[in-house]
């Protein structure tokens, strides 16, 4: 019997714990997103790119935590990578309890299981329960024109994974930031904004910033 993992559950549309804004209560603050560097220091420019992109799209508060070391339990020695699903659990266990999402940022290669591959390298992964996500800049540098190009890819990945944390499945619309990466970082270069349908879902969830304008030039 095969157990459906969190990535598969997310792809099947089983995520969706983001609450409408009205459910926060009149006095409640916007959801807190904690950017959690993992491992070697994440460059300030990458943190700024990610936080800026999140703030452009989402009605949330963003803060950066002190770096955490990468857990040895997540290291997959056979491929020299870190298993993303174990990093997700680590972020929930070690992160701030008041965070709506603990978003881990790292430069090491990360992976998960994607049939038929036991260990599939990825840009990022978000949990079904919406409490954590993780993204890696490792693959963002592949065939990048320069450091700025890689940072833009990294920022788009952050927005994409946070979208999953707010209940969004992959979008079938080409060019939408929630479109499936299809196993290549190159797809991020064709994605510049949320499509109308995705914006409507985020608005219904109460997390789309009013008048949100994409920071990613076409």
Annotated catalytic residue: which of 46, 161, 182, 191? 161
**Angular region, 102: left φ>0, alpha ψ -120 to 50, beta rest:** beta
Q: What is the DSSP letter of 176?
A: B
- Annotated active-site residue 8? The verdict is no
3-state secondary structure of 62: strand
Q: Tokens 């959690």 correspond to what residue?
A: 36
Q: Is there a cis peptide before residue 173, judged by omega within 30 degrees of 0?
A: no
Instruction: Kindly compute the dihedral angle of the four CA atoms of residues 164, 167, 173, 174, in this order, to the nearest 10 degrees.
Output: -10
Q: What is the DSSP letter of 68?
A: B
Helix (H) or strand (E) holding 81, with range, is strand 81-83
Q: What residues act catalytically?
A: 161
């Amino acid at each position: 019997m095969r157990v459906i993992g969190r990535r598969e559950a997310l792809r099947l549309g089983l995520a969706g714990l983001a609450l409408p804004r009205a459910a926060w209560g009149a006095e409640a603050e916007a959801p807190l997103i904690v950017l959690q560097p993992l491992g070697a220091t994440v460059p300030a420019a990458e943190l700024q790119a990610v936080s800026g992109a999140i703030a452009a799209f989402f009605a949330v508060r963003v803060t950066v935590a002190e770096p955490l070391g990468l857990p040895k339990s997540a290291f997959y020695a056979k491929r020299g990578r870190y298993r993303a699903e174990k990093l997700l659990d680590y972020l929930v266990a070690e992160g701030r309890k008041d965070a709506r999402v603990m978003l881990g940022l790292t430069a090491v290669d990360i992976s998960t299981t994607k049939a038929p591959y036991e260990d599939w390298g990825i840009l990022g992964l978000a949990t079904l329960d919406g409490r954590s996500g993780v993204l890696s800049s490792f693959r963002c540098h592949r065939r990048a024109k320069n450091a700025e190009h890689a940072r833009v890819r990294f920022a788009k990945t952050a927005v994409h994974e946070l979208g999953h944390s707010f209940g969004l499945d992959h979008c079938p619309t080409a060019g939408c930031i929630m479109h499936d990466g299809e196993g290549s970082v190159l797809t991020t270069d064709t994605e510049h904004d949320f499509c109308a349908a995705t914006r409507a879902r985020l608005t219904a969830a109460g997390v789309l910033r009013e008048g949100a304008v994409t920071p990613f030039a076409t």
